[in-house]
Amino acid sequence: MLRDCRIVIIAVVVIACTGSIRVPLARLSSTPISLSLYGGIGQPERVVVRDSATWHTVWASIWSGTTPTPATPNVDFTKEMVIVAALGSRSTGGYSIVVDSAMATSAGLLVWVGTSSPGARCVTTQAFTAPVDVARIQRIDEPVGFVDVPKIVQC
């Protein structure tokens, strides 16, 4: 918890000291939950996709094990890029991940990713899950950093 607070504080200080501009993003899921709770990405990952070939590969890995695989959304990579956040495999339900927001700074782009996990008293689905979320964002050819904001949902 203390480590997470330090990360958020450092991110706020960096933004305050360097100046920043909020960058609008469009999540591929219209609801404030993960795009897929049963994604095929087994390890925690944060990926920036700036080309079509990588996008097709990442999309296929998100939906591996799902038949039929949903069509890969079209992205104009001359104007946009895609942010993918995967929580990795979990042994129960109750977990989620959301690409929340982004800020352009003089050092590049900071993307906030919210994660949630069930509290000790929560009743959860007894199924393996691997939450993944995806967002489109204006293409920025600068370094991209991620700020994870975890929370535990108390039931």
Provide the pLDDT for residue 37: 81
Provide the pLDDT for residue 32: 47
The more confidently predicted of residues 30 and 50 is 50
Q: What is the pLDDT of residues 77-113, one digit of tens each?
A: 999 999 999 999 999 999 999 999 899 888 899 999 9
Burial of 145 from C-beta contacts in 10 A (0-12 / 13-18 / 19+): middle
Domain locations along the chain: 2-153
71: Cα separation from own chain's centroid: 20
For range 126-144, the mean pLDDT: 92
The more confidently predicted of residues 106 and 116 is 116
Provide the pLDDT for residue 33: 46
Which pTM was predicted? 0.80
Q: What is the pLDDT of residues 37-82, one digit of tens each?
A: 888 899 999 999 999 999 999 999 999 988 888 889 899 999 999 9
Q: Highest-confidence range of 17-21, 27-31, 32-36, by mean pLDDT? A: 32-36
> Is the Cα torsion angle 116, 82, 3, 5 positive or negative in sign?
negative
